[in-house]
Amino acid sequence: MSIDLCSYSPLVQFQAIAAGKMEAAKIHAENAIRKKNESLNYHRMSTRIDAVASRVQTACTMQKVGFSNDIVNQGSFRKLM
């Protein structure tokens, strides 16, 4: 039975060290660190995109509210005339 492991799995690193393949273990460790940093960077980018989407949605809502207020104000002004 074969287990499909990613190259940055701690088990792969342990197996490489146990087999005496220090260079391979070092490469696996570097890959693991790089993948972890990549994951954190994607998470940061996702958070920023969510914040921008929220600002855009708020701006659209405020524009609609402003437009509605203008219509109400025009109607009120006409009734006063």
* pLDDT tens for each residue of 39-80: 999 999 999 999 999 999 998 888 877 777 666 666 665 665
* Residue 57, pLDDT score: 92
Annotate 4-61 with DSSP letters as a single string: ---TT-HHHHHHHHHTT-HHHHHHHHHHHHHHHHHHHHHHHHHHHHHHHHHHHHHHHH
CB 11 within 8 A of CB 5: yes
* pLDDT tens for each residue of 22-39: 888 888 889 889 999 999
* Residue 66, pLDDT score: 73
| pTM beyond 0.75, yes or no | no
